[in-house]
Amino acid sequence: MGNMLGWPAPTLKKLREPDSEIHLSLWEEVWVVNVFYLTTLMGPFPYGVLMNVMGRKTTLLIANIFAAASWALTYFGRTGTTLLIARGLAGIMSGGAFTVMFVYVAEIAEPRVRGIAGTLMVASIFLGTILVYLFGPYVSIQTMAAISGTLPLVFLLLFSLCPESPYYYVMRGRRADAERALAWLRGGAPIENELAAIQTSIERERKTGQGYFAKMLSLITVPAHRKAFIIVEVLAFLQRFSGFSSLATYSTVVLPPRLGPLTVDHCTLIMGVVWLVSSLFCSAFIDRVGRKPLLYFSSIGFVVSMLPTAIWYYLDRETSADVTGVNWVPFAGFIGFGVALTGGLGSIAPVYNGELFPSHLKGQASAFTTIVGAASSAISIAMFPMLASHVGLYANFLVYAAMGPVTGVFTYFYVIETKGKSLQMIQAELNGEEIGEQEENGKE
């Protein structure tokens, strides 16, 4: 996923070179980038159905086929149209990955490590992005596609060895399979209490007897589901609209071409490495300090990093002031923004998506979340050149800085803390039920 997200950064610059086989206009570039997010919108609801019918694991393996096809087409294609189609296939894969993977991990992980497991997936996304930043500037588009094309194969080989979600097996009435999967996941530790809790939770959900569209409607009409829905969708919007998608896409064409001995490609690679490290920082602390303190960290970091960046671009592009002596400010801002995002909101928003919904609604809820995230990214990326052309490049960074206070206020008044709580306990809290500390510790 990160490999596909990071692909435009070094590629757009290559496509602008005079000897490039493919030449795109500015708006064609926007479409090649944005079609990824637009086709992501097509996948969530079909994948949401598949994950409940065929299983979480099988659905992810199906999505992987589109990833392989995307890189194959990028390798063999020589026109803008083939790039457009390849990015579209990548988006279809993205719709499945974002809809299913966080649900799967939330269902297989123990409460004490569920946050770590969820944020490590975000770290993996940045690792894939770094792969593009590391090789992309120095090899051809076709060679990068060949390197990237090995990742779907590795995923197929390794993930085929992993078990299906025990929740899915219990939902399908396959208790023996659920027992085997849970025993594999827990490495031989006692599983009777956990399996019983899963069984009880699924049976309670099954009593609702809702059809697919009734379940979607219940995300709004049932107070507990509505609270979870608002938390997850607002965080998904803030995560994408705060600027990550745009900065990851346009960094190589908006940063100063050189920063001392560093080229813009070096700066982009450093950004990716720092963002990866900060996501690992989040993984290390999310189950110690909790989700909400790290969200506050993001809200402050957005303002501190993006406001000086906006001022620098305003002075550089809109006035006659000479700011070349401090041309490190945008790069420092991009670095700081990435640390603030991946150290908090960027890593935590997907974790909430896997934690807050009951099993029978996760397919529908994850589909909505994927759509909100993809739409927010598409709008942010399309808005970037429009604001740059009609207002000024600095306006984009003012928008990203403004997302900081919005994130902080929303977190304070609405987001719940889920650190160390089982999925059953989280549902009880959303329903306003009281659970004593002793019972909570026993369930953990």
| Mean per-residue pLDDT pooled into runs of 10, the chain (444 residues) | 84 78 73 82 80 91 94 88 90 85 85 77 84 86 92 95 92 90 88 86 68 71 88 91 79 79 84 84 81 93 94 91 88 90 86 80 78 84 86 92 95 89 82 56 42
Within 13 A of 116's CA, how many CA atoms are on the CB side?
11
Neighbouring C-beta atoms of residue 28, cutoff 10 Å = 15
How much is the pLDDT for 22?
77
pLDDT at residue 432, as a whole number: 78
Contact 341, 348 (CB under 8 A): no
Report d(CA 210, CA 217) in Å as an integer. Answer: 10
Which tokens in the block code for residue 168? 């899915």
CA 320, CA 341: separation in Å to the nearest integer?
Answer: 32
- What residues contact 47, with CB distance under 8 A and at least 6 apart? 59, 63, 95, 96, 99, 100, 363, 367, 370
- Determine the 3-state secondary structure of 416 from DSSP: coil
**Residue for token pair 């589901």:** 225
Q: Are 378 and 34 in contact (CB under 8 A)?
A: yes
Q: In the structure encoding, which two tokens stand for residue 259, read together?
A: 């920063």
Number of H helices, E strands in the chain: 23, 2
CB 305 within 8 A of CB 336: yes
Residue type, 294: L
Residue 263: beta bridge partners?
A: 258
β-pairing, 258-259 vs 262-263, is antiparallel
The encoded tokens of residue 316 equal: 């550089």
What is the rounded distance in angstroms from the CA atom of residue 68 to the CA atom of residue 148? 9
Closest among 365, 296, 291, 337 to 118, alpha carbons compared:
291
**Per-residue pLDDT at 208:** 60
CA distance linking residue 232 with residue 214, whole number of Å: 20
**N-terminal to C-terminal alpha carbon distance within the chain:** 32
Residue with tokens 């457009």: 84
The predicted structure's pLDDT at residue 205: 66
Which of these, 334, 287, 282, lies nearest to 306 by C-alpha position?
A: 334
Find, among 213, 68, 244, 75, the residue nearest to 144 by Cα: 75
Q: Which residue has the tokens 């938390």?
A: 231
Q: How far apart are CA 168 and CA 154, in angstroms?
A: 24
What pLDDT is attached to residue 209? Answer: 55
Q: What is the pLDDT of residue 348?
A: 85
Output helix, strand, coil percentages for the chain, rounded to the nearest 5: 80, 0, 20
For residue 118, count other CB atoms closer than 10 A to its CB.
Answer: 27
Sorted by sequence, the CB contacts under 8 Å of residue 192 that are 6+ apart come out as: none
From the list 411, 408, 412, 379, the residue with the least C-alpha distance to 396 is 379
pLDDT of residue 207: 66
Structure-token pair, residue 331: 């790069």
Q: CA–CA separation, 367 vs 90, rounded Å? A: 17
Give 366's DSSP letter: H
Phi then psi for residue 131, to 5 deg, are: -55, -40
Nearest to 277 by CA among 116, 123, 114, 134: 123
The 10 Å CB-count burial string (b at 16+, else e) for 176-208 is ebbbbbbbbbeeeeebeebbeebeebbeebeee
Nearest CA-CA partner of 241 in 93, 406, 1: 406
Separation CA 33–CA 125 (nearest Å): 17
